[in-house]
Amino acid sequence: MNNRYNKLKHTLTLASCCLAAAPSLAQQDATVRTQVLEEVVVTAQKRQESLQETPIAVSAFDIGALQQIGVGEPGDVALYTPNLEIRKPPGSSDNYGYSMRGMSSTDPSLLTEPTVGLYADGVYIARISGASFDTVNLERIEVLRGPQGTLYGRNAIGGAINLVTRKPGEEFGFSQKLSVGNYDYFRSETSVDTGMYGDFAATLSYTHWTREGWLDNSEADNKLGETKKSEAARFALRWQPNDALTADYVFDYSDRDSNGAIVQLVHIRPFQAGLGGPIYAQAAAVASPRRQSSLPMPFSDTAANWSTIRGHALTVEWASDSFTLKSITAYRDWDSGTTENEYGSFPSDGVNVLNGMGGVIPAGEYVPLFIASRDSKQDQFTQEFQMLGTALNERLQYTLGLYYFEEETYEDNPQSFVLPAIFAYGGLDQGTQSFLCQDPTFADPLACFGKDTLLGTPVFVYGADNDSVAAYSQLTYAATEQVDVTVGLRYTRDNKTAFLRNSNIQRNEGIEEVVGDDSWSNVTPALTVSYAPSDTLNTYFTLSRGFRSGGFNARAASSSAFATPFDEENVTSYELGVKSDLWQQKLRLNAALFHYVYEDKQVTQFEAGSGGASSIIANAGKTEAMGVELEAALIPVTGLLLKASYGFIDNDIKEFDTTPSNPVTGVGSGTENVDISDIAETIHTPRHNASLIAEYTFEPFSFGQLVLQADASYNSERYFHPINNLYDSAGKQTLINARASLTNIEVGSGSLRVSAWGKNLADKGYREWGIDFGALGFATDSFILPRMYGLDVVYEF
């Protein structure tokens, strides 16, 4: 261990010196072609380590890789990471849904926890809502797969994603990137390093981009598409009065206006269409399972969604010869909303479309099949203290930590929706099997047939005050020169107080506000044994636990469904891994084999009906899974770099207890618990996913150097809902991207890089996300971006 530790320490010292001496802005393009694979340094275990000696399944993307695959948001790396899915749910371009190794979090409710921990420079970002933002001065992204219950703790049951930004450099530097593309795409990224002034250095960065829509609007004179305008800024200040003390302050800001991921109707159920009136008939006529080029949206303002993020972070680090103390203090607030989130509006005929109060909606007035507005807020404060060091003649490495988190959330989300009038005013007589019309407005029960009614929940407000405390430790002991043993332990306690105000609860139960209050605590241990038979081969075995906190059902349709919280979920994971550098460092092959037991799994159960888009989260049962992950990098000949990844997962749902009342499956009456494990699917988890990147760097020309890259990604079928899978799934998907760059063009005292790029070159119209609205009678899907292409010009010195 001492020899390996000294070697690693010497390597990291050299790496730190090289990084400090490098140009202060983005990594410069090499003037010679790489002949061996370079060492990758990560901070997955809160300290700098070589990726190949870190006993965790980690995918790392440095600045060069991020530039080549065109990363603009954290989720862009998912296509190239085994067993990771990051998609945007309908209704906002600012939210993410995660699935890592089959452990998913897809509900954007502010009362549910993610399964994947997202961290920016060590600061935890608590919600999947608002997790999609522009990355500014990004240096590296690390994806840690598997439960990270010790060092990352709460709600990192599936894994963690670390965003690492570039720190201010010692020399003055400047970088300007301009991008243009189809659909009037324009992006500008500006960054300035001040260099050291006394003990201080700073970096100022600004990003602005716009893009117009790509879909025709059949009901208004405008284009529909995802993002209209986005701005992001970052100010980083470093104070380093001596070699031992460093303080980094960062302010980041993001402001985005968009109309969200455009969602289209893909299916209208014949049962509801047969009972309903002209709204359902028109909706059925335009519904299509394939991506359409025109949608019926009567609004003309395409910037219907907005999102603003402000963050402050202060990291203070003091280092001695044997240990380091670190404090991370951060505050972040997020404001977001939408004025119009709908899936199609259609004109009333003035006779058969009711307004829900016994009246008729006038002819020609547009009626949305479903529409919701939203005003969301979340602010959080975090404080973490860390102590990292060595002992016992450097045979023991330790990490100790204390963590505190608090947040406030609020959302106002009124909804309106259409139902067949017979659903709203009548019912099915179980004795005669005939429909009854109970509304006194209709003397003839048959008057309910062939009519639609517009209903809604004008009051739908919820929020919470949450806090969490934790203490953790991780110790790594060198048992021999080849064997290390790592043990970790974390204690976490979450306290939550939530409220809900809902029109249906007020009308049906006479309760203005429902309040829930509960707490959850958990101890998550981890054990890792690593064995390195040589300097180029490292193996490890890990046994770990992770947990995801319980919570409250924001979309509950009754007071009891809200006040009774769902419980925490737990996972026990076993992982065997190998990391190797072969063929004189021209081949890198990393692999992981894992198996886990997932207990008390939290599953969102959609309960759309006369109560609107209501749902509950239930601890549905137990799942076991096994999987394989492979990552390889190869330099077969000088100048050619090949990278490949593959992920496989086999989920076995052992228990899935629920109370469905589903017109598709017919399972359950909605009153008794049933086990549907034989028909349920694991959501947002393809059985197979893979990627391949080929990059060729030519010999330098007198005027620059040419780099060509092409990549392909693949995933097999995945489901959006555990039961309703006819129109709530996406088939096999293969995407092809390419980039050609001319680098190191000398211009004055700096260099120029010009890149032509294309994404989704085959212009595939794949489904990204779907929602089946059950008893409302329709299903919707959003689709990935069409073919995009453009040109980047970057100048830096």
The 3 state secondary structure assigned to 439-488 is CCCCCCHHHHCCCEEEEEECCEEEEEEEEEEEEEEEEEEECCCCEEEEEE
pLDDT at 258: 81
Smallest Cα–Cα separation from 583: which of 51, 36, 60? 36
Does 599 have pLDDT greater than 90?
Answer: yes
Token pair in block for residue 223? 């284009």
DSSP result, 244-299: SEEEEEEEEEEEEEE--S-EEEEEE-HHHHHHS-HHHHHHHHH--SS--SEE----
Separation between Cα atoms, residue 505 and residue 503, nearest integer Å: 6
Instruction: Convert the pLDDT of each residue in 430-484 to its tens digit.
Output: 343 344 444 444 445 566 789 999 988 889 999 999 999 999 999 999 999 999 9
Smallest Cα–Cα separation from 202: which of 253, 239, 165, 163? 239
Phi, psi for residue 8 in degrees, rounded to 5 = -65, -40
Separation between Cα atoms, residue 167 and residue 200, nearest integer Å: 12
Q: Give the confidence band of 667 by pLDDT, cuts at 50, 70, 90.
A: very low
Smallest Cα–Cα separation from 613: which of 776, 447, 437? 776
Contact (CB, 8 A) for 552 and 113: no
pTM for the structure as a whole: 0.90
Token pair in block for residue 355? 């307004």
* Weakest-pLDDT range from 224-228, 669-673, 721-725: 669-673
Strands 215-217 and 294-295: parallel
Higher pLDDT, 540 or 782: 540
Smallest Cα–Cα separation from 93: which of 787, 793, 784? 784
CB atoms within 10 A of CB 22: 14
Q: Give the confidence band of 668 by pLDDT, cuts at 50, 70, 90.
A: very low
Which range is most confident: 240-249, 604-613, 653-662? 240-249
Contact (CB, 8 A) for 84 and 99: yes
Strands 750-759 and 733-747: antiparallel
Separation between Cα atoms, residue 210 and residue 91, nearest integer Å: 19
pLDDT at 680: 84
pLDDT at 703: 92
- Average pLDDT on 231-238 reads 96
Beta bridge partner(s), residue 342 = 371
Q: Give the confidence band of 163 by pLDDT, cuts at 50, 70, 90.
A: very high
CA distances from 339 to 90, 503, 555 (A): 14, 19, 19
Smallest Cα–Cα separation from 277: which of 331, 342, 346, 196? 346
DSSP result, 722-768: SS--SSSEE--EEEEEEEEEEEEEEETTEEEEEEEEEESTT----EE
pLDDT at 672: 59
Does 196 have pLDDT greater than 90?
Answer: yes
Smallest Cα–Cα separation from 332: which of 252, 403, 255? 252
pLDDT at 440: 46
Instruction: Convert the pLDDT of each residue in 681-733 to its tens digit.
Output: 899 999 999 999 999 999 999 999 999 999 999 999 999 988 766 778 899 99
Separation between Cα atoms, residue 625 and residue 599, nearest integer Å: 11
Does 318 have pLDDT greater than 50?
Answer: yes
Smallest Cα–Cα separation from 350: which of 451, 280, 438, 445? 451
Does 370 have pLDDT greater than 60?
Answer: yes
Q: Give the confidence band of 750 by pLDDT, cuts at 50, 70, 90.
A: very high
pLDDT at 176: 97
Torsion of CA 141, 143, 144, 148, to 10 degrees: 80
pLDDT at 72: 85
Please, what are the domains in the chain?
A: 2-796 (2.40.170.20)
Separation between Cα atoms, residue 471 and residue 490, nearest integer Å: 6
* DSSP code for 505: H
Separation between Cα atoms, residue 743 and residue 792, nearest integer Å: 11
Does 10 have pLDDT greater than 70?
Answer: no
Residue 270 burial (C-beta neighbours within 10 Å; 0-12, 13-18, 19+) = exposed
Token pair in block for residue 421? 């009038």
Contact (CB, 8 A) for 101 and 627: yes
Q: Give the confidence band of 531 by pLDDT, cuts at 50, 70, 90.
A: very high
Instruction: Convert the pLDDT of each residue in 72-92 to its tens digit.
Output: 888 999 999 999 999 988 877
CA distances from 689 to 81, 401, 758 (A): 9, 36, 21
Separation between Cα atoms, residue 669 and residue 76, nearest integer Å: 42
pLDDT at 671: 52
Token pair in block for residue 401? 């930590």
Does 367 have pLDDT greater than 70?
Answer: yes
Contact (CB, 8 A) for 402 and 382: no
Instruction: Convert the pLDDT of each residue in 27-59 to its tens digit.
Output: 334 445 768 999 999 999 999 999 999 999 999
pLDDT at 456: 84
Q: Is the dihedral of CA 179, 184, 185, 190 positive or negative?
A: positive
Does 619 have pLDDT greater than 90?
Answer: no
Percentage of residues in the chain having pLDDT higher than 90: 67
pLDDT at 615: 66
CB burial string 215-245: b at 16+ within 10 A, e below: bebebeebbbbbbbebbbbbebbbbbeeeee
Q: Which of helix, strand or coil describes residue 352?
A: coil
Percentage of residues in the chain having pLDDT higher than 70: 88
Phi, psi for residue 352 in degrees, rounded to 5 = -110, 15
- Average pLDDT on 102-122 reads 92
pLDDT at 478: 97
- Average pLDDT on 573-580 reads 98
Smallest Cα–Cα separation from 647: which of 625, 624, 622, 663? 625
Beta bridge partner(s), residue 485 = 477, 529
Beta bridge partner(s), residue 478 = 484
First to last CA, the chain: 42
pLDDT at 718: 94
pLDDT at 297: 78
pLDDT at 201: 98
Contact (CB, 8 A) for 161 and 74: yes
Which range is most confident: 262-271, 284-293, 407-416? 407-416
pLDDT at 25: 34
Smallest Cα–Cα separation from 786: which of 290, 73, 86? 290
Does 781 have pLDDT greater than 50?
Answer: yes
pLDDT at 293: 86
Higher pLDDT, 773 or 724: 773
Separation between Cα atoms, residue 580 and residue 533, nearest integer Å: 11
Does 736 have pLDDT greater than 50?
Answer: yes
Phi, psi for residue 37 in degrees, rounded to 5 = -75, 135
CA distances from 526 to 145, 324, 487, 731 (A): 14, 23, 6, 37
- Average pLDDT on 327-353 reads 91
Token pair in block for residue 129? 């809502």
Separation between Cα atoms, residue 621 and residue 506, nearest integer Å: 32
